Amino acid sequence: GTLDPVFSPDGRFVVFVASQNANAAAYGFTHTDLWSLELSSRSLRQISGLEGRGDSHATPRFGDRGKRLYVQVRPRSDKVYNAARVDQYSWPAGRLETRLAAPDGHSIDDFEADPNGADIWYLTERAGHVDLHELDDRSTTGRAILQLERGVLGQLSVSAGRERTLVAVYQSSTEPPELVRIDVANGRTQPLTQVAVAAAAELDLAEPIHFWFDNDQGMPIHSMLIRPPDFDPQRRYPLLVLMHGGPHSMWRDHFFLRWNYHLLAAPGYVVLLTNYRGSTGFGEAFAQSIQGDPFAGPAADIQQAAEVAIERFPYIDGSRQCAGGASYGGHLANWLQGTTDRYRCLISHAGLVNLEAQWGTSDIIYGREVTAGGPVWEQGSVWTEQNPARLAANFRTPVLVSVGERDYRVPMNNVLEYWSLLQRQQVPSRLLVYPTEDHWIQNAHNSRHYYGEVHGWLARWLEDSH
């Protein structure tokens, strides 16, 4: 991974993060520690990780006129997901002084340090949004600077001068990314760029509708609903249930290229985006809740979200539904293939069908073993009960399957195995292989082709004639 190098303010040191156990990825969690290099003497010093806990470090930052060194820390535990905090060190002593954590089990996902003071400013996810907060060693809770009602912030940068000013990227599902200046004293923002404002204004992009329900475990579940252009509440629209990857990520109110909500809704569909259990942005315990339950629990939330949406929004035609996703969202699509017949069609990009094959061929394997409760040869309940391939006798739903030939996260053998099962079961299906793509479809030409295929597949199976 990246070394995240940064110069000390006096130019004498480079501080960076590096791993000493990357070779252990097959049988344990790897981590990065904090190091410093004195340029004049070439002297190397390890600052963190000496106690051997296995916490992982990233993005060091200097603050308070070079007297403090901050670093993001992802703690190590018996869980796959752990919320990130920031550790504060004295400099140049390199002594740990304080651990700064976001309240309510939320994660510090990006941060900057005040060059002239003791504050840090950080971004954290919250129910589809990404907000800006302030924290220092005098407070355990800090304060919210900017809690958004729509959109997300990202890519923080701090002024090196004495004015307390930040620059960030702001975007929402109806507003392409632009630079904004943020006054940290009052949270006021000022646009710095307007590159895509005029073009976006010409598009009919409806704001997402946010709604909540309690799942079967009593957990509050957040969803967003995207309506198509020329929306008429008197009409009845098919429903596209879109499932995010990760699983430890979150559907955001942002302008996403790979799964652009409005582009998917454009032919006349309502798109449902559910942050099922296991998602980030709702506290550490919520994200950790799917360990030992990788598919069944999240799928139950997705099914319930569709039912709630159909009940609450009368313009959704519950008789015409399709579900789809990529990566972990593709895994869920394949799980739905074996566990429900509610959908007229499915879409699965880079999705595993066989937990055992994925464990043996992916570039990340140990975390899957921990999620499953033990190695594959022990054949615990997750390996036997939450493996879509073992449910192939139930495969009936038409599915669009796709993969990038250079994908090492969910290698192509997973998709080819799924394809073989679909052909054996004579399931109506279509296979797309993109030779130059990896885990994501990012080439502009391929992206345009893929959206065309998705639109064609939805039109084929969501027409009233079916």
- Map tokens 């309690």 to a residue: 214
Assigned fold of 204-462? Rossmann fold (3.40.50)
Q: Are 215 and 221 in contact (CB under 8 A)?
A: yes
13/44 Cα distance (integer angstroms): 10
Domain residue extents for the chain: 6-198, 204-462
Tokens of 228: 């198509």
Q: Which of 59, 54, 55, 62 is nearest to 16 (CA)?
A: 59
Q: Are 229 and 266 in contact (CB under 8 A)?
A: yes
Question: pLDDT of the chain along its 466 residues, tens only?
Answer: 579 999 999 999 999 999 999 999 999 999 999 999 999 999 999 999 888 889 999 999 999 999 999 999 999 999 999 999 999 999 999 999 999 999 989 999 999 999 999 999 999 999 999 999 999 878 777 899 999 999 999 999 998 777 788 999 999 999 999 999 999 989 999 999 999 999 999 999 999 999 999 999 999 999 999 999 999 999 999 999 999 999 999 999 999 888 999 999 999 999 999 999 999 999 999 999 999 999 999 999 999 999 999 999 999 999 999 999 999 999 999 999 999 999 999 999 999 999 999 999 999 889 999 999 999 999 999 999 999 999 999 999 999 999 999 999 999 999 999 999 999 999 999 999 999 999 999 999 999 999 999 999 999 999 875 5
317/270 Cα distance (integer angstroms): 9
198/217 Cα distance (integer angstroms): 45
290/372 Cα distance (integer angstroms): 10
Q: Which of 46, 44, 69 is nearest to 59 (CA)?
A: 69
Query: Three-state DSSP class for 403?
Result: strand
DSSP category for residue 128: T
* Cβ neighbours, 10 Å, residue 466: 11
* Cβ neighbours, 10 Å, residue 201: 10
Q: Are 140 and 296 in contact (CB under 8 A)?
A: no
Query: Three-state DSSP class for 345?
Result: strand
Same CATH fold assignment for domains 6-198 and 204-462: no
Does an H or E element contain 59, and which? strand 56-63
Assigned fold of 6-198? Methanol Dehydrogenase; Chain A (2.140.10)
Q: Which of 263, 304, 224 is nearest to 458 (CA)?
A: 263
